[in-house]
Amino acid sequence: MLLRGSRIDGTGLVAFGEGPVIGHLIIPPGPTINEYPDLYREAPGGTYVQSLGCYAWQVDGTDFSYEIVFKAVHG
């Protein structure tokens, strides 16, 4: 799976992972270190944004592609 992100209402960086690392996140095929018995997989880390605003993830796999839009606001 390939996960990419960008701000869609202006300029601003998006980063992924524990670091954070600017760029994209790749989750390779096969088991992950935190795979559940029901085969639900996840990648450790988070999404970091530079400023408040509207952002989108593009999530691509071998047989799917999704866009997920979210707004970063003060908690």
9-55: per-residue pLDDT in tens?
Answer: 999 889 988 777 778 888 887 776 666 677 666 766 789 998 999 99
Range of the domain at 50: 2-72
Under a CB-based contact definition with an 8 Å cutoff, are residues 36 and 26 in contact? no
Give pLDDT, residue 4.
93
Considering its fold, how many domains does the chain have in total?
1
φ and ψ at 58, to 5 degrees?
-115, 120
Give pLDDT, residue 24.
87
Q: Answer whether residue 72 shows pLDDT above 80.
A: yes
Task: Please tell me the distance from the alpha carbon of residue 2 to that of residue 47, in angstroms, as a whole number.
Answer: 14
